Structure 1
Amino acid sequence: MKLLLVLALLCVSAPVASASTGPYAPVNRPGPRLSVPIADLQAAVKCTPSAHGSHREVALFVPGTGVAPAESFSWNWFRALDRIGHPYCSVALPGKSVGDVQVSAEYVVHAIRHARAISRGKIAVIGHSQGGVSSRFALRFWPDTRAMVADHIGLAAVNHGSDQNDALYPHGNGPAFALQLKRTAKFVEAANSRRETFPGISYTSLSTVHDQFVTPAGTTDLRGPGVANISLQDVCPGNTSDHITIGTSDALAHSLTMNAITRRGPADPADLPASICAQDTMPGADPDTVTADLAAFLKSATDTIAAAPVSAAEPALKPYVFARR
């Protein structure tokens, strides 16, 4: 059962049509007041001292399902950015993201606003797996955040639902997030309603053909202007990164992400040296401990998902999602 639940961890399938308007709110209608207590929102965001007053894009890390920021990013990304003095923040999502993704999105909204308020530049949102779609939901329904964000980087992001979730939970009775990330989920339809990308934000969506959860390959791709949809194997055919390592230890994914947040526009693989294909482990991740670090990551995600409360049905969409509230 744990394996089946892990298979539901941020896997993706055939995309829902992004042109759908349906009953959903206009893209520029002001977002609602956040329902989560401000003390909880504030406690969830952590930033480096260098983020305060920074002119560079502050990287905001949004973790995937079942893990806290420290479990996902402290042994790799945080170390890498500390070494070069690049500012960053992270946001811890409630219950490690196994509940209602709409609530997680409120934490991301606050984190974007906070990171922008303390810095002098715009924000680069970096979301792994579920973190890639919860942050996009925040941008969709809280339009004030868009002017604060320069880049959105999805690392195997769950953008269009999951065939595996549809198969595992055809009648509900699963973790809330899994029901919301089914291919047929109303949450997915709402997140992609009217448009998937917004002017002024550069989108980089990274995928891997070896992704064991996001299937088939390439279904992370976004539709719209300002997007670079990049398969790691199109850059380095021999790259073996999977769903977990693309967001935690892969050298190519790291290089493309850093390229995106340090240049104008989305990532451009042509900027990278050919030698990147010979590198396995990203800066910050220790080659001697990376196997154990990845195992600890996966155990945390597995245990958290296995212990998640069971929902009988997908959580209802919030009133602000609709054109008529």
Structure 2
Amino acid sequence: MKSTIAKTAGVLLACLGLTLALSAPAGAETGGFAPVDRPGPALQVPEAELAAAVHCTANATNADQEVLLFVPGTTLTPDEYSWNWFKALDKLGKPYCSVTEPDNAMGDAQISAEYVVYAIRHVHEISGRKIAVLGHSQGGTEPRFALRFWPDVRPMVADYVTFAGTNHGSPLINALCPPVAGCSPSLWQQTVNSQYIQAMNSGQETFPGISYTNIYSIVDEFVQPNLDDNGTTSLHGGGGSITNVSIQSVCPTDLASEHIAVGTYDPVAYALAMDAVTHDGPASPARVPASTCGHLLMPGVDPVTFATDLADTTAVIAKQLALHPRVAAEPPLQPYVHAG
């Protein structure tokens, strides 16, 4: 899945014209969407299904430190973290949980967001403290959708960390959704100016009391434009504490950290995320040791099985993209999203 420099240059040039349009911070107006402090709706998914989707380590109960809740990306399950993050955290003895979204996160992201709402409430309750939510790609959007439309979960979250989050959509995902062939519901929802994206960013992009660390790569082959902190992953305004940071701003010569790498094995992404969840406030790139740039893999990744582990993850992605049923249009927004 490595992008060549030439291919990346073409992508960046194609996306450059969209950067300003995507970077404008959301204002106070909600643009016809629900007020930001209106109580969220009751969850539609049966509680038994929601509960079965959340899995935690034993030390997440009555935790003595911030528990990390992992949300997988499109086409994936929490298995994407099993050969990297989970092994690293097990070695450190840090508590963590994960949430499995239905249909490999290929269905309506509004339904997936309900799983995240339940997971945040559950992990906060069992841990007895504020938690951190970490998501890769689309897995960075459902937590934000949850925070936007279920305000009761905002005081439960200390840290939000996204790896290559599609916070403002991506024109490269638009290319995966040709009008004739269509694409999966959640891919439609990650296209530029989708209704889902507009609703998620309405009113304000962040909320006071939460630290936001948005990690991206300028050579990401799926999530663009991401040339700087005016790109699609970055967030602005709203009152949260925010760090928007590229892999290359920490390690300028790193042109190999593509989309999958950022969420699964990149050592800089790991260092930034760990800095965020072990300090007050969002990540500080200045605290990342310079030696991190000399590492090929994040802690937890076994160099012996790395190629196989990455190939297995890539195979799941390819299978889901190729075989998942396609729909002709984005799912309609749920009634609670609207102001009326």
Tell me what 1:307 maps to. Answer: 323
One-letter identity of the residue aligned with 1:244: I
Tell me what 2:262 maps to. Answer: 246
Q: Distance in 2 between matches of 1:263 and 1:241?
A: 25
Unaligned runs of 5+ in 2: 1-14
Secondary structure (helix, strand or coil) at the match of 2:259 reads coil
**TM-score, structure 1 normalization:** 0.93
CA RMSD, aligned part only? 1.4
1:320 aligns with 2:329: no
Q: Distance in 2 between matches of 1:288 and 1:16?
A: 41
Q: Distance in 2 between matches of 1:120 and 1:277?
A: 36
> 1:128-277 counterparts in 2 under 5 A?
128-169=136-177, 171=179, 173-217=182-226, 218-224=231-237, 225-239=240-254, 240-277=256-293
Q: Deviations over 1:272-319 (max 9, x none)?
A: 221111111111001122122111111101112222221121100000
Tell me what 1:24 maps to. Answer: 33
Secondary structure (helix, strand or coil) at the match of 2:118 reads helix
Q: Conserved in 2, the CA contact under 8 Å of 1:16 and 1:189?
A: no
- How far apart are residue 148 of structure 1 and its match? 0.4
Higher RCO, 1 or 2 (CA under 8 Å, sep at least 6)? 1
Unaligned runs of 5+ in 1: 1-11
Shift in CA distance, 16/277, structure 1 to aligned 2, threshold 3 Å: closer
Tell me what 1:3 maps to. Answer: none
Tell me what 1:290 maps to. Answer: 306
Q: Conserved in 1, the CA contact under 8 Å of 2:172 and 2:223?
A: no
Q: Deviations over 1:134-160 (max 9, x none)?
A: 111011100111100000000000100
Q: Distance in 1 between matches of 2:281 and 2:57?
A: 25
- How far apart are residue 170 of structure 1 and its match? 5.1
Q: Distance in 1 between matches of 2:71 and 2:326?
A: 24
One-letter identity of the residue aligned with 1:229: N
One-letter identity of the residue aligned with 1:288: V
Q: How many residues align?
A: 312
Q: Distance in 2 between matches of 1:278 and 1:304?
A: 34
Q: Distance in 2 between matches of 1:101 and 1:190?
A: 12
One-letter identity of the residue aligned with 2:326: V
Tell me what 1:9 maps to. Answer: none
1:68 aligns with 2:77: yes
One-letter identity of the residue aligned with 1:223: H
% same residue: 51
1:57 aligns with 2:66: yes
- How far apart are residue 219 of structure 1 and its match? 2.1
**TM-score, structure 2 normalization:** 0.89
Tell me what 1:125 maps to. Answer: 133
Q: Distance in 2 between matches of 1:199 and 1:219?
A: 21
Secondary structure (helix, strand or coil) at the match of 1:96 reads helix
